[in-house]
Amino acid sequence: MRLEPALVMLVVVLAAAILSILVYAARGPAEDHDAKTRGTQFLMGGGNFLVHWFLWALTPLDRLAAVLRLTPDFFNFSGLFFGALSGLAIGIGELEWGGWAIALGGVSDIMDGRVARARGLSSDYGKFIDATLDRFVESFALLGFVYFLRAFAYGPLIAAAALGGSLLVPYARARGESVGVLCKEGLMQRAERLALLCLVCWSDGVLARALGRPEGSAALLVLGLIAVGTLATAAHRTLWIAARLLERDGR
């Protein structure tokens, strides 16, 4: 059986990640500003350990960025590039490489904020460009799935629903913040969505061959989960913010 290069890379990275997690757990959790502010509801909040570990694992990249004096925009536009690449790879059926592009785009998204804070470059421009490019990146990947899943009767519809829900979740929060109500509640936030997309990109082909199912079957299920989770989260945020506004207005 021919080993796919992308899958070989995945096995190597997973082995290194497991070893790194063991080292991190043995030395004791390290406090990280980004980890404390990001948090996650993934696995009922148990994903917080993984968030702290992952940001700790990025420490060498922090140092490299400092030595090379890389700017936040370098990572912003690197993330945009990897997002476009992921959509292209997924669209042509190269899901494993699409998963790696999504992962690299996610790392770029994390690094732009870390570099900005480390170098004292935080600004309204940075917040705007980061949030806006994040939407482009996620849209590229999910549009790739819209095309990839065209052989399934409801594939494009489900992928489009996941795309719509993924855009509505941050939109509801942004509109709430614009009127003075902050709502971060809900499952299926961006970190969880990207993690699920990466995992299904890496595993879809393997599962299809093992179970004798068409390629894309696992992706279809995961995108359905993302669609339901994001639309439910967007609806919850809309109702929650609306209730707070009515209370504030005395109605």
Long-range contacts of 25-32 (CB under 8 A, 24+ apart): 25/53, 30/56, 32/56
**Amino acid residing at 226:** I
Q: What is the pLDDT along the chain (251 residues), one digit of tens a residue?
A: 455 666 677 778 788 878 887 887 777 666 666 655 555 544 444 556 777 777 878 888 888 988 999 999 999 999 999 999 999 999 999 999 999 999 999 999 989 888 888 888 888 898 899 999 999 999 999 999 999 999 999 999 999 999 999 999 999 999 988 888 888 777 788 888 998 999 999 989 888 888 889 999 999 999 999 999 999 999 999 999 999 888 887 76
Structure tokens at 182: 């902050």
Q: Domain extents for the chain?
A: 58-248
Determine what percent of the chain is predicted with pLDDT higher than 70.
88
pLDDT of residue 43: 46
pLDDT of residue 114: 87
Indicate the pTM of the whole model: 0.85
Cα distance between residue 37 and residue 24, in whole Å: 20
CB 135 within 8 A of CB 170: yes
pLDDT of residue 49: 73
Q: What is the DSSP letter of 150?
A: G
Mention the CATH class of domain 58-248.
mainly alpha
Tell which residue, 75, 78, 58, 60, has the closest CA to residue 116.
75
109 assigned to active site: no
pLDDT of residue 25: 77
pLDDT of residue 142: 96
Among 32, 109, 112, 134, the active-site one is: 134
